[in-house]
């Protein structure tokens, strides 16, 4: 099955429980290489990116058992520090094995990572961090890291608050000799989740969730049991689905602070919601209208580093904006190719002007109609699902395996909310 058909304009209502955070579990799988003891992770989403990271874990000699969203990992028999090229090409986070392999073997060989084509995604922060902590690098066909004298704590300053570079440095520093202080660190929930997981394994990390993180290296990490937090991007995606369709939805398993900025953005689009200690409640029947800025100007919704609006939420939010009355500018600052999917929305009937690779103006309400659509990346693919759900007629969305990389049990969750869809 490589496509889904969606019949649009059916009532949306129901409850969704969040799966575990995709962007937290992927580095956690790599981090399990740091210990010889068994690690158990709960609330793990069964998605293609998780399966890809587990392929690498097994190729390196690690063992795992994955059933009912519980993942048990043991690296005691790991014997290789070379990741096969074809496995590196499957996702972006394959690069995150570099630090654990360096810490374990003093060597690591990885190939350029794959992942979504949404624009340039620098590796400079990874290279800077590993080299500063004591690794050498040879780079021709592959990235060959060596740390013959081990890794040593240092002060580091990232030139951009990169999520994956921060995660790489945390995994390198947790067993390095001495103290590492990382300035301009990424603050995203999944970064904090990784740090908390490493601490559960015996690490000494403090400051996670802020932009200065301190790591006091320890000699050894042990096994643990840890529960992955809910995926706020998945939650925001289903929120956009309900908003675009005038539906009502209850999203369970949230951390309210992860949705503060999401609530502010959706309020600017004219939507209201309620956050409780673990649930987001979005009432149906809303008649949204874009709220102009205080001086009467067209508002701008832009992404940025946490706690600003996540780049991963921009695509789905743009679709929701096509179904709210008024005009709004979206400014995608982080990736120059993420806005390209809007061309398909225009073909569906959206009133949109793509100003440049980073900015698009949306004027609603647009009367969308069904058509055949691609899944250019995980989040744009989900945005196409949302657009199809509120469009007149039937849509076909191709290469859905791209969406399945990041969304667990997607068709079951959509169907439970009233979306009429099927694989074909």
The residues carrying an active-site annotation are 116
* Pair 253, 278: CB distance under 8 Å: yes
Length of the chain: 424
What is the torsional sign of CA 112, 113, 119, 120?
negative
Lay out the sheet containing 63-67: strands in order across: 63-67, 70-74, 39-42, 224-227
Rounded CA gap, 335 and 302, in Å?
12
What is the layout of strands, in order, in the sheet containing 248-252? 13-17, 248-252, 279-282, 274-275
Angle, CA of 412, 256 and 244, to the nearest 5° = 50
* Angle subtended at Cα 145 by Cα 144 and Cα 150, rounded to the nearest 5 degrees: 160
Is the alpha carbon torsion for 395, 400, 403, 408 positive or negative? positive
DSSP category for residue 92: G
Element at 346 (helix H, strand E): helix 342-348
DSSP state of 97: G
Rounded Cα distance, 32 and 227, in Å: 14
């Amino acid at each position: 099955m490589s496509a889904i058909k969606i019949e649009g304009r059916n009532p949306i209502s129901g409850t969704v429980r969040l799966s575990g955070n995709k962007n937290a579990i992927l580095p956690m799988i790599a981090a399990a290489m740091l210990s010889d003891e068994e690690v158990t992770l709960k609330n793990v989403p069964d998605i293609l990116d998780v399966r890809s990271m587990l392929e690498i874990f097994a190729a390196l000699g690690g063992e795992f058992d994955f059933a009912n969203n519980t993942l048990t990992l043991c690296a005691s028999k790991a014997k290789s520090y070379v990741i096969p090229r074809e496995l590196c090409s499957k996702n972006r986070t394959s690069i995150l094995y570099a630090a654990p392999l360096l810490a374990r073997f003093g060597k690591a060989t990885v190939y350029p990572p794959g992942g979504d084509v949404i624009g340039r995604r620098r590796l400079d922060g990874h290279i800077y961090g590993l080299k500063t902590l004591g690794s050498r690098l040879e780079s021709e066909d592959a990235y060959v890291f060596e740390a013959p004298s081990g890794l040593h704590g240092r002060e580091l300053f990232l030139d951009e608050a990169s999520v994956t570079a921060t995660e790489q440095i945390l995994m390198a520093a947790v067993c390095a000799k001495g103290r590492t202080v990382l300035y301009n660190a990424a603050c995203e929930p999944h970064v904090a989740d990784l740090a908390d997981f490493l601490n559960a394994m015996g690490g000494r990390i403090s400051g996670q969730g802020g932009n200065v993180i301190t790591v006091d290296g320890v000699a050894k990490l042990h096994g643990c049991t840890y529960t992955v937090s809910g995926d706020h991007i998945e939650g925001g995606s289903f929120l956009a689905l309900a908003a675009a369709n005038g539906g009502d939805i209850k999203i369970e398993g949230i951390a309210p602070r992860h949705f503060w900025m999401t609530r502010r953005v959706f309020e600017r689009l004219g939507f209201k919601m309620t956050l409780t200690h673990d649930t987001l409640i979005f009432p149906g029947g809303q008649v949204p209208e874009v709220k102009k800025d205080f001086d009467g100007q067209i508002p701008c919704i832009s992404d940025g580093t946490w706690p600003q609006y996540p780049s991963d939420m921009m695509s789905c939010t743009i679709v929701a904006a096509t179904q709210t009355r008024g005009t709004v500018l979206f400014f995608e600052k982080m990736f120059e190719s993420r806005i390209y999917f809007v061309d398909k929305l225009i073909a569906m009937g959206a009133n949109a002007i793509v100003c440049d690779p980073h900015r698009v103006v949306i004027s609603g309400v647009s009367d969308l109609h069904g058509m055949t659509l691609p899944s250019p990346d995980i989040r744009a693919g989900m945005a196409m699902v949302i657009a199809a759900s509120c469009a007149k007629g039937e849509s076909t969305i191709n290469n859905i395996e791209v969406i399945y990389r990041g969304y667990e049990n997607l068709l079951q969750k959509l169907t439970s909310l009233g979306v009429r869809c099927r694989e074909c």
